[in-house]
């Protein structure tokens, strides 16, 4: 199965983008939701044991997707030069990681995050995609987030990247993706 890694139209960190560049990213994101979900669905159903999974945007679909995602996470080793670069970013000594998520895993995490976000949006009334651009110090500045949880936005892509790290460390089960849906959907009530 050939998987097309997402190519984001970003050339620099969100805080360094102009308002026009941020708007361009927003347009790209919203325009590509269906394509990224289709890409994810093809990859999942092309995996042995998951041919019956459907991207039907139900909360139940997250259970099998979470199991699949856990098995799809791949890490790549970091060389000593890259580890030294990471250590140099901090004013105090840290233990740099020995591995990172592969580029394909990061793209899959983004696609899972988009799908997760769409499941929330379609099943939790009052939620919608938005892009915070008022405060450059805000952690989700420029990112596409889901609003509708009071003053707390949900960044589903950041959530699934974090989940990928937990899967790589064998710290979470595949059921965690559905559990996260349940947690966030309860916050809306």
Over residues 10-63, the pLDDT tens digits come to 889 999 999 999 999 999 999 999 999 999 999 999 999 999 999 999 999 999
Pair of tokens at residue 40: 């994810």
CA atoms of 130 and 35, how far apart (whole Å):
19
**What local confidence, expressed as pLDDT, does residue 97 receive?**
87
Is residue 181 a part of any domain in this protein? yes
pLDDT at 189 over 70: no
Bridge partners (DSSP) listed for residue 25:
none
Domain that holds residue 138: 17-188
pLDDT at 188 over 80: no
Biggest alpha carbon distance in the chain? Answer: 50
Nearest-CA neighbor of 115 among 172, 178, 171? 178
Q: Is residue 111 classed exposed, middle or buried when 0-12, 13-18 and 19+ CB atoms within 10 A define those classes?
A: buried
The count of structural domains within the chain is 1
pLDDT at 86 over 80: yes
pLDDT at 148 over 90: yes
Band (pLDDT 50/70/90 cuts) for residue 107 is very high
Is residue 10 a part of any domain in this protein? no
Mean pLDDT score, 98-122:
96
Q: What phi and psi, each to the nearest 5 degrees, are found at residue 23?
A: -65, -40
Is residue 46 a part of any domain in this protein? yes
Is residue 3 a part of any domain in this protein? no
Is residue 152 a part of any domain in this protein? yes
**What local confidence, expressed as pLDDT, does residue 122 receive?**
98
DSSP state of 78: P
Band (pLDDT 50/70/90 cuts) for residue 151 is confident
pLDDT at 153 over 80: yes
Is residue 47 a part of any domain in this protein? yes
**What local confidence, expressed as pLDDT, does residue 23 receive?**
95
Is residue 183 a part of any domain in this protein? yes
**Residue 34: enclosing H or E segment and its boundaries?**
helix 19-45
First to last CA, the chain: 40
**Which range among 52-56, 66-70, 86-90 shows the weakest confidence by mean pLDDT?**
86-90
Is residue 8 a part of any domain in this protein? no
């Amino acid at each position: 199965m050939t998987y097309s890694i997402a190519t984001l139209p970003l050339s620099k960190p969100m805080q360094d983008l102009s308002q026009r560049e941020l708007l361009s990213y927003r347009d790209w994101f919203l325009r590509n939701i269906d394509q990224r979900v289709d890409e994810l669905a093809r990859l999942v159903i092309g995996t042995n044991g998951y041919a019956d999974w459907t991207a039907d945007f139900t909360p139940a679909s997250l259970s099998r997707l979470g199991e699949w995602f856990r098995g799809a996470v791949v890490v790549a080793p970091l060389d000593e030069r890259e580890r030294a670069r990471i250590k140099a970013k901090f004013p105090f000594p840290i233990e740099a990681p020995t591995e990172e998520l592969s580029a394909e895993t990061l793209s899959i995490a983004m696609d899972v995050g988009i799908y997760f976000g769409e499941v929330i949006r379609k099943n939790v009334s009052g939620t919608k995609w938005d892009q915070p651009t008022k405060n450059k110090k805000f952690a989700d500045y420029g990112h596409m987030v889901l609003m509708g949880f009071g003053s707390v936005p949900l960044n589903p892509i950041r959530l699934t990247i974090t989940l990928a790290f937990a899967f790589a460390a064998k710290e979470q089960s595949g059921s965690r993706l559905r559990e996260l849906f349940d947690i966030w959907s309860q916050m809306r009530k």
